[in-house]
Amino acid sequence: MDQLADLEQPPRVSRRIAPPLVDPFGRAITYLRVSVTDRCDFRCVYCMSEAMTFLPKTEVLSLEEIDRIASAFVRRGTRKLRLTGGEPLVRRGILELVRSLGRHLDTGRLDELTLTTNGSQLARFAADLHAAGVRRVNVSLDTLDPDKFAAITRWGRLPQVIDGIAAASAAGLHVKLNMVALAGVNDGEIDAMLAFAARGGHDLTLIETMPLGEIDGDRVDQYLPLSRVRADLERRWTLHDLPDATGGPARYVRIGETGQRLGFITPLTHNFCESCNRVRLTATGQLYMCLGQDDVADLRAVIRTPGNGDDDDALDLALNEAITRKPKGHDFVIDRRSATPAVRRHMSVTGG
């Protein structure tokens, strides 16, 4: 079974003094996003093809392996862990992993353990996530129209997600809604989403579609610059720029009329790389130093190499080497002159 190993076993130790991880541009790596699975119970049109081929289970990290790598990052200065997918809550044993990683909250070495989800399983898991130490979740929600929701997600049902959001709030989880802005699809619904978020006490972040992975449609047709969205919102609302920094790429404004906080993630119209403090671990143990580039470090090979199971010296050395290759910024572009995505891997593989 894919379960965490006996947590009563003595912890692995490193004989090597391991300083905090800092990239060549002086940015401390304090944020790790971990894809626990590439599988999802939705097939969102901007994220993946409907007929996806998922990874063989033998290639996917075990829960114990995820814990080991994530814990190595915590030991090296990471203060925030975010579990992603795919849909992380479809991973068997996910609560065991969350509970195990929660020990770093208890020691004070970790500030936050969070989750990004499509909301489909939140009604089942919200209370247990809170009990395990999670205090915030990001929920992907692109429309409040049931028919449009079904069309965007292909397999999803809006009432299931709405119920999940309500369950998360009832359990004491702060909910941030993530809305991918899609031209000709949901660009007329942003005010309605703002109103929904305000009623529930949720933050809202708008996201530009990103050129990752082959999909069934044309991202050029989907692409909606958030600079245009902001200009449209400013015709009806007073937007005050905020200095807020959450460790992610969003830039925030306060809506004067409602007091709400609204975020913009703009990888294309405004590169957000200058303060990047994060790296991404895939479900197969590949460490991507940049979401928008293909350079990768194979941490699965390191921890599965015979002889590397008794301590983390080899893992520490691999982390040191990988972070020296973290680039200053990404190379995202959406352009009709190129029919291929900027990055061929799907977001569900990298971790959303």
53-110 per-position pLDDT tens digit: 788 989 999 999 999 999 999 999 999 999 999 999 999 999 999 999 999 999 999 9
Please tell me the predicted confidence (pLDDT) of residue 48: 74
Please tell me the predicted confidence (pLDDT) of residue 345: 47
339: CB partners within 8 A, 6+ apart: none
More confident residue, 215 or 107: 107
Are 230 and 215 a contacting pair, CB within 8 Å?
A: no
Rounded distance between C-alpha atoms, residue 11 and residue 308, angstroms: 14
Average pLDDT over residues 262-287: 82
Annotated binding site for S-adenosyl-L-methionine: 46, 86, 140, 210
Q: Which domains does the chain have, with CATH numbers?
A: 31-175+274-350 (3.20.20.70)
Please write the tens of the pLDDT for every residue from 282-316: 999 999 998 777 889 999 999 999 988 777 999 99
Mean pLDDT of the chain: 86
Average pLDDT over residues 1-9: 52
Annotated binding site: 33, 40, 44, 46-47, 82, 86, 116, 140, 176, 210, 273, 276, 278-280, 290
Strand partners, 342: none
Rounded distance between C-alpha atoms, residue 299 and residue 236, angstroms: 49
Quick one: tokens of 122? Answer: 């939140």
Backbone phi, then psi, for 324, in 5-degree steps? Answer: -65, -15
Pair type for strands 136-140 and 80-84: unpaired
Maximum average pLDDT range among 5-14, 168-177, 213-222, 274-283? 168-177
Annotated binding site for GTP: 33, 82, 116, 176, 278-280
**pLDDT at residue 200 is higher than 90:** yes
**pLDDT at residue 211 is higher than 80:** no
Average pLDDT over residues 107-135: 97
Please tell me the predicted confidence (pLDDT) of residue 212: 47
Backbone phi, then psi, for 204, in 5-degree steps? Answer: -130, 135
Nearest to 79 by CA among 315, 299, 247, 252: 247
Annotated binding site for [4Fe-4S] cluster: 40, 44, 47, 273, 276, 290
Please tell me the predicted confidence (pLDDT) of residue 303: 96
Q: How confident is the model at residue 341 (pLDDT cuts 50, 70, 90)?
A: very low
Please tell me the predicted confidence (pLDDT) of residue 309: 72
